[in-house]
Structure 1
Amino acid sequence: MKKLFFLTMALLPSIVFSQTLTKNFTIKGKVGNINSPAEAFLFYQIGANRVIDSSMVVNGSFSISGFISNPVNAYLIIDHKGVGIQKLDKNPDVITFFLDKSNITLTTARDSVYTAKVTGSVINDENNDLTRQLKSINDEAKKLDDERNTGLKNKQNTTGFQRDIEARGKALQDKQKSILQNFIVTHPNSYLSLLVLNALGKQGKDPAEMESLFNALTPAIKDMETAKMLKKSIDDSKITAIGAIAPDFIQTDVDRNPIRLSSFRGKYVLIDFWASWCGPCRMENPNVVKAYNKYKNKNFTIIGVSLDRPDGKADWVNAIKKDGLEWTQVSDLKYWSNQVAVSYFITAIPANFLLDPNGKIIAKDLRGSDLEDKLAELFGKI
């Protein structure tokens, strides 16, 4: 779960150094018996600025102070050989944590900050507690992933095997969401709750539920710039929520013919966002093809919307042929700036929306056997 919450920042020349503002945080470290020329580097971000600060390490000890307006994700690296940040190896000695207005202590008896314990900060205590709650779920998810890979190697790629893996995976996701939702409700004044809520939104949580959880946060948290951005994304997501009328659009097909979504009224339509360069999309295509071939004569069709690049038309057309995508395909070849994708707030693919004959969204992000199951629910099993 830490990967959900910790910001990864590239070590780019655009990094700026801490400003001489009134300092409101201090990090003190004791990492074994590391000594000169070792140096500790702290990285975090304020707005558009990447910030770096540093301290020499003497007998394992170092101290760094600075200023932040709100809690931020941070990481601290120990440069054991004193080579400088531009020459660090690809696997540095690093620890990730939250930086807030407090006196944070990093301590470990070993000569590696990676093993350090973080104390003195409420938000890090909260994150440690949440990580402990999620540990068993993450462990089960890893076992499930190993089982899936083993099954594929042993050619156990049967429908029953896949559905069992999918069902168990969904059950774990439900448990995870329940823990995250409970954390938000029980920690309404925590900045971490805001980050957790943002993560739930990226996982496709229903906008109405997102708004309810957002409203449970305290005014102080909701007044943060991060919260205002999240509120806007929640409001935007209502446009393509289940029950909403799908935004109409016109985009050209492979022969440059304009295709209008509303011209398909009277049919059940799956709007399928994908791209020839998207590995997960190409892996999902056989499931979509199977569902299409089963139900294409049952008042059901698909409009594929490709997020291929400006120079990717040949790749797009070849992928359509190779994957057997016989339905209508459109694209403006503008990559992530595809106008339909932008109007549907697409930030990851594959993604899809199932519309009823009136153009109302009745389901979304149907993966694996979910699409076929939903169509069987609508039309009966074939």
Structure 2
Amino acid sequence: MKLFLDKGEQVKIEGRIDSTVFNCTLSGTRLNEDHSRHYQELRPFWIEGLRLQDAMAGKSRAEQEALYERFRQVMARRRACEMDYIDANPDNPLAGYCLTKIPIDSVLTYHERLADAARNSIFRPLLEPLLAKAGKYRLIRLAEAKIVAGSPAPDFTLKTADDKNFTLSSLRGKYVVLDFWGSWCGWCIKGIPEMKRYYDRYKSKLEIVGVDCNDTPERWLAAVEEHRLPWINVYNPKDVPAAEDISVEYAVSGYPTKVIIGPDGVIIGKYAGEGPDFYEALHKTIQ
């Protein structure tokens, strides 16, 4: 359980370990007292969630999956409790904190329901990055309808590893794979050898464009050199507004994500994760 302190405030904590979940009450400030009461509403969900997690030990895969589904349902009810609190207490600063505990696709909707007292409380430093993340998420969901087979691939211009401008449309006439990746992404790195094999096999007809995301320029360049990436490599700056982010425009929500584009600039397919479906599709497309 968390407690919240501003300069000069004092809070009293009384509690005990009960059912593996700390059972306590807070007093001394209104915010902590409100939080203490709300915690008691949430506590049954935590207890049930821990019980289900403990029950998974030693069970078969099928039994674990069934228990995990029940766990997900319990956590969904917990999140619903947080949203109910926001609706019932829109002017309470604690409602701002509850906003950080709900699904990302609900954040903007529930933030609009908050009064200024909750929006501008001591939790504002937590809310600002959360709202940016939620805004980016919403744009990605909107972009998904455009990044489908048969749609034109959005054009873009980014800097290459040798600091030159690269424009996607300059590759018209060849098959293109956009590989959204990052030096921090284990699955992206794991897939590099297979990507190299397919590039060597089809490079007379195919160009790969590695679009590095969520990296610093230094880490990106070091990774390009370390892994000796032979294709075009461009950097997608991580500090640009979401509306200007190429990964958002291509509805990238996980890494790696690969997009196959035809010689006419039309999307053939989009593939999330590192799996055989992408390579099978690429082979069938180009052979």
| Structure 1 unpaired stretches of 5+ | 1-9, 16-30, 43-48, 56-62, 66-73, 78-93, 98-113, 117-134, 143-175, 177-190, 196-221
Q: Which amino acid in the other structure matches residue 281 of structure 2? A: K
CA distance in 2, matches of 1:234, 1:344: 10
Residue of structure 1 in register with 2:179 after alignment: 272
Instruction: Indicate whether 1:360 and 2:262 are aligned.
Output: no
CA distance in 2, matches of 1:96, 1:50: 24
Cα shift readout 1:271-325 (whole Å, capped 9, x = no counterpart): 111111222211121221121111112x111111112534x42x32232233231
Determine which structure has the larger strand proportion and give its number. 1
CA distance in 2, matches of 1:14, 1:96: 29
Q: Which amino acid in the other structure matches residue 143 of structure 2? A: D
| Structure 2 unpaired stretches of 5+ | 7-17, 53-60, 70-75, 81-105, 113-133
Size of the aligned set, in residue pairs, is 203
Instruction: Indicate whether 1:53 and 2:35 are aligned.
Output: yes
CA distance in 1, matches of 2:195, 2:32: 42
CA distance in 2, matches of 1:371, 1:280: 14
Instruction: Indicate whether 1:318 and 2:222 are aligned.
Output: yes
User: Once structures 1 and 2 are overlaid, which stretch shifts more, 316-325 or 338-347?
Assistant: 338-347
1:361 is displaced (CA, Å) by: 1.4
Q: Which amino acid in the other structure matches residue 275 of structure 2? A: G
CA distance in 2, matches of 1:51, 1:300: 63
Instruction: Indicate whether 1:39 and 2:23 are aligned.
Output: yes
CA distance in 1, matches of 2:184, 2:252: 16
Q: Which amino acid in the other structure matches residue 225 of structure 1? A: T
Cα distance 1:232–1:54, how it changes in 2: closer, same or farther (>3 A)?
Answer: same
Partners of 2:160 and 2:166 within 8 A in 1: yes
Quote the sequence identity (%): 25
Cα distance 1:341–1:233, how it changes in 2: closer, same or farther (>3 A)?
Answer: closer
CA distance in 1, matches of 2:245, 2:212: 11
TM-score calculated relative to the size of structure 1: 0.43
Partners of 2:220 and 2:235 within 8 A in 1: no
Residue of structure 2 in register with 1:303 after alignment: 209
1:242 is displaced (CA, Å) by: 2.6
Cα distance 1:287–1:11, how it changes in 2: closer, same or farther (>3 A)?
Answer: farther
Q: Pairwise CA RMSD of aligned residues? A: 4.5
Residue of structure 2 in register with 1:225 after alignment: 109
CA distance in 2, matches of 1:50, 1:240: 46
Cα distance 1:362–1:263, how it changes in 2: closer, same or farther (>3 A)?
Answer: same
| Larger RCO of the pair (alpha carbons < 8 Å, separation 6+) | 2
Residue of structure 2 in register with 1:120 after alignment: none
Residue of structure 2 in register with 1:184 after alignment: none
Cα distance 1:292–1:231, how it changes in 2: closer, same or farther (>3 A)?
Answer: same
1:251 is displaced (CA, Å) by: 0.4
| Paired residue secondary structure (1:334) | coil
Cα distance 1:347–1:267, how it changes in 2: closer, same or farther (>3 A)?
Answer: same
Residue of structure 2 in register with 1:379 after alignment: 286
Residue of structure 2 in register with 1:214 after alignment: none
CA distance in 1, matches of 2:155, 2:220: 23
Determine which structure has the larger helix proportion and give its number. 2
